[in-house]
Every structure is written in structure tokens, then in C-alpha cells.
A and B are shown apart, each in its own frame.
Chain A
């Protein structure tokens, strides 16, 4: 090892493969990834991409908050929540690739990029299947609290039902993830009440964020044909099945915060079909640029 660079030891003598970090382990090593009988592997893969992309895009938006939260404790909280969701994303994208390798973008021969990274960093925006709520650009602190509340309340109900999936990986991710999401939901809910019952300014900002984000909430509890099909197969969960449960929790939070539930109206959906807002491509450009510049890089 050269004394002038601590990174020399990582390279195995080939500096063309320099990137950052060292770890390339299969996150599903030793986990049974066989596709349950009677399930179309491609459909299972698309479903895992949808749930994985929700977590990945949301995680990236939360990570953009690093160093920008109003207090250090909340900065650390947002980074923690981002990391939890990244953990879900990694396993779900790896599970998608294991179910149907054809979903993974092709990379140059010999590239060491693992399948879940290829899915995260080498797909275009239209190949992402996340709900649009996850991709909306960040606003102020009230904005991230409202987004996180709407997201985590629905995610909790989804994962709670996914624990009995016939797919072992989905069931395991759900069993673990639901406990982590309960902390997210509590944190967002407490801040929602604090801002709603705080100063006139905090309340004004909370209501503005709620007005902006509410049209994206409907997609979280609407049935998409893919989700309905996998729910019927005992693999996935139809979001329409937990719409009422989500309403009950949100109403409890709104009541505690002294906030009225926004009127229904327009639902901005389409994310599950790859129809995204412009914001997603801009976010991905920043998230993906380093990985795309080093397709042979070791991380």
C-alpha cells in the first residue's frame, strides 16, 4: 500500500475501478428467493420495483435534508428515517432482480455493480414506479413533515398487511419494516400536531404544505391493476383495501392538530405507470451521476 493514499489498498492495483467504499455483498445471501408457485416472476419483479422505488425516492428526498433541518436532533432523525427506507429499498430492488433478472439494466461486461445498484442508478425516470408523492421537491420543514406523515401512515398499513405475503422476502421485509415505519409515523405525527398547535406561522406553513401535497395522497390508497393482481395471488396488498384504515389514522392526527381534512378533488397519480413529474428526473440526475460516470467502479 502506498503511504500517500489510504484508498490504494481498496483497488487491487487497478485504479480504473476507483470509486468509493468497499462493500458489494448480496443483501439476500442465504435467503430463499424462489418465486412462489402460480406467480408470474415478471409481475412479482414489477411489484417489488414499485415498493422499492417508493422507499428509494422517499429516502433520497429525506437525505437531501442533511444539514438543513431546524435542529440537530431533527437533522439526525431525518437521516435515520432515510437510512431505514434505503434498507427497505435495497432488499426490495434485490428481490426484484432475483425474481426476474430481465428488469435489471444492462451494464458493460465485467461491471461489478450489483443488481440492486444497477436498478437504482442506471434506470431512467420513466422506468421508476414510485408514487408521485415521494418525488415532489423538498420545501420547508412543514412540507417534509406532511409528506412523511402521508407516506408513513399508508406505508405502515401496507407493510402490516404484507407480512402474510406468500413471498418470503416480501413477508420478511414487511415484518421488519413495519416496526421501523411505526417510529417514522410517530415522529411525523408528533411534529404535525406541534406545528398545527404552534405559532400562527407554523400553522400557516403546515396548512400550505397540506394543500400542496394532498392531491398526491390519493395515489397511496388507490388500486393499480398490478397491485390488485398480486393481492389476488396472495403476494401483494391492494392499497384500496387499507384506504379506510389510513383515513382513520389521519383523522386522529388532524383532530389532534386542529386541522381540517382537505376536501377530496383531484388525485395526481400515474407514478405506478412511470408517468412522473419533471422533478423526478432532476432528482435522479443528481442521485445517479457519480455511479453512471463509473459503471466499472467498485464501491
Chain B
């Protein structure tokens, strides 16, 4: 590996998610690959949700951070296949989520049929550690999060959804 490639990978690997800045794009599993060829850095990213409006910001951040590190020519490519899954969030990323008051997703086991009963997840409150939690809404401030409330400390918290 050339020194340039190692630098480009390190710089790109430090770019954080615009909505969840405690996570790097690498920890989120959005940054799929960084290559360098004839001085052109190619970074590949996979959108979390198809409509995620943060994708353009992620692209701009990669271009600017790599540019600041001396890489003038940066090409950010979108990779749609395979689609992003919350299983790609790294262990370090899950730890960072919890430390910042967010509940990390469990492993993805979406059932095939329609789910008409209540949503059940075994969560612990990221603030007090209690397992007595209630779902407030399957939808939240960003496409990837559900709203929960802790029945013990009564604090609301966000859960990154399994998908």
C-alpha cells in the first residue's frame, strides 16, 4: 500500500456522519472503499436510506476533508448494491452510539410477513441501563431512528432501527 493510499484511507475514515457526528462514516458502514489511482482518490459510499438527504453532505465532507489533506482530485461514487444494512455498523460505532445516548440496532431479522402486532425489541436505556422501555414511535427525526422512552428514568431516547 502506498503512503498516499494509507493517508487517503485514514482521512476518509475520520469523516463523521452529519446527523450522528459521534460516528464516522466508516463506523456507520456507509464508507465502503477508498482507492487511489494516478492521484485521483475514489471513495465509495452506500446510502443508508434511499431518500437520506445527508448523502450529499457526506459527499461534500469527503471531498473537502480529502482536499484539505492535499488530495485535489476526489471522486465520490455511490454504490447501491448490496444495500446498506444496520448490521454494517461497527462495534466501535455501536459503543459510540450508546455513549452518546442512542440505542444501537440489534441484528437484522426482519420477518417476511406483515407485522400487525406490537413491535418488540429487547432494548436497554442508554442512559440508565434499565430494560424497562416503551416504544413511542417507529419513526423519528431522521429516517434511521425510532423513538423510545425509558420507564425507569423516564428519559426519552432514540433507537437506530434494524434494517
Chain A positions near chain B (C-beta within 8 angstroms)? 23, 25, 27-31, 73-74, 76-77, 79-81, 83-88, 90-91, 153, 168-169, 171-173, 175-177, 179-180, 182-183, 185-187, 189-190, 193, 249, 252-253, 256
Bound Cα distance from A295 to B138, whole angstroms: 38
- Cα(A88)–Cα(B80), bound, Å: 12
Contact yes or no, B84 A85, CB < 8 A: no
Is A177 in contact with B50, judged by CB distance below 8 angstroms?
yes
B81 touches A249 (CB 8 A): no
Whether A25 and B83, one on each chain, are in contact in the complex, defined by CB atoms closer than 8 angstroms, is no
Classify the secondary structure of A's interface with B.
Answer: helix
The interface residues of chain B lying within 8 Å CB-to-CB of A77 are 137-139
Residues of chain B touching chain A, judged by Cβ–Cβ distance below 8 Å, are 44, 47, 49-53, 56, 59, 75-84, 110, 113-116, 119, 136-141, 143, 147, 161, 163
8 tightest A-B contacts by CB? A87-B51, A30-B77, A87-B50, A172-B80, A73-B137, A176-B83, A77-B139, A172-B81
Most interface-central of A30, A175, A249 (chain B CB within 10 A): A30
A-B contact pairs, 28 of them (CB 8 A): A30-B78, A31-B78, A73-B136, A76-B141, A77-B137, A77-B138, A80-B143, A81-B139, A84-B143, A87-B52, A88-B51, A90-B51, A168-B81, A171-B81, A172-B80, A173-B80, A176-B83, A180-B50, A182-B110, A183-B163, A185-B114, A186-B114, A186-B119, A187-B139, A189-B114, A189-B115, A252-B114, A252-B116
Closest-CB distance, A288 to chain B (whole angstroms): 20
Contact flag A28-B49 (CB < 8 Å), given A73-B147, A76-B141: no
Chain A's closest residue to B46 (CB) is A176
Nearest opposing residue in chain A for B59, CB measure: A25
Asked if residues A23 and B56 are in contact (CB atoms below 8 Å), the reply is yes
- Which A residues are in CB contact (< 8 Å) with B76? 29-30
**Chain B residues with CB below 8 A from A86, complex form:** 51
A153 near B78 with CB under 8 A, answer no
C-alpha spacing A153/B114, complex, angstroms: 9
CA distance A182 to B109 in the complex (A): 12
Choose among B44, B75, B78, B84 the residue that contacts A28 (Cβ–Cβ < 8 A): B78
Not counting A31-B78, A83-B51, A252-B113, a sample of 18 additional A-B residue pairs whose C-beta atoms are within 8 angstroms of each other reads: A25-B59, A30-B44, A30-B76, A31-B79, A73-B136, A76-B137, A76-B141, A77-B137, A80-B143, A83-B49, A84-B49, A84-B143, A87-B52, A88-B51, A176-B49, A183-B163, A187-B138, A193-B116
B53: chain A residues at CB < 8 Å are 83
B81 touches A84 (CB 8 A): no
- B77, B84, B115: the one contacting A176 at CB < 8 Å is B84
Query: In the assembled complex, which residues on chain A have CB atoms less than 8 Å from the CB atom of B116?
Result: 186, 189-190, 193, 252-253, 256
Knowing A25-B56, A31-B78, A87-B50, say if A76 contacts B110 (CB, 8 Å). no
Closest to A87 in B: B51
Residue of B nearest to A183 (CB): B138
User: Complex: how many Å from CA A171 to CA B140?
Assistant: 28
The reply to whether A179 and B110 form a contact with Cβ atoms under 8 Å apart is yes
- Within the complex, the shortest CB–CB distance from B56 to chain A, in Å, comes to 4
Q: Which residue of B lies closest to A190 (CB)?
A: B116
